[in-house]
């Protein structure tokens, strides 16, 4: 069973980066972005309480539904779009393989 997935990330300057992340370590996308030194704060530690890890999902992936907490936080956030997600709420799993995300503007 494949334990690493590939993720493409567009930074705030418009440059695309390729990441590989493990699916067997219970990590989320925010943690992978922070480990890869992207300017993601993750102030709340992944609790869907701050929106400092806001991304846009540009690819067509079947993602988990947004929780009520995630929707509420995005409602209070700036620059949200229909494809906005909190990267802390996207667990690294096989369903994210090949996903393309763009970092939202800093808040």
Q: How many domains does the chain have?
A: 1
On whether the CB atoms of residues 46 and 34 are closer than 8 A, the answer is: no
Left, alpha or beta for 51 (phi > 0: left; psi -120 to 50: alpha)?
left
| Res 2 pLDDT > 80 | no
Domain CATH code at residue 12: 3.10.20.30
Query: Which pLDDT belongs to residue 107?
Result: 76
d(CA 58, CA 10): 10
For the stretch 12-71, pLDDT in tens is 999 999 999 999 999 999 999 999 999 999 999 999 999 999 999 999 999 999 999 999
Q: What is the DSSP code (8-state) at residue 96?
A: G
- Give the global pTM: 0.94
The domain containing residue 89 runs over which residues? Answer: 4-103
Q: Is residue 5 classed as helix, strand or coil in its secondary structure?
A: strand
Closest CA to 13 of 107, 100, 81, 103: 103
């Amino acid at each position: 069973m494949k334990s690493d997935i590939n993720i493409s990330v567009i930074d705030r300057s418009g440059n695309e980066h390729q990441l590989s992340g493990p699916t067997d370590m219970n990590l989320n996308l925010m943690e992978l972005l922070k480990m890869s030194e992207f300017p993601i704060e993750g102030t709340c530690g992944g609790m869907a309480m701050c929106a400092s890890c806001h991304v846009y999902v540009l690819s067509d992936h079947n993602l988990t539904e947004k929780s009520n907490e995630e929707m509420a936080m995005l409602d209070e956030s700036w620059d949200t779009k229909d494809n906005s997600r909190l990267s802390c709420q996207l667990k690294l799993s096989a369903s994210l393989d090949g996903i393309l995300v763009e970092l939202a503007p800093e808040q």
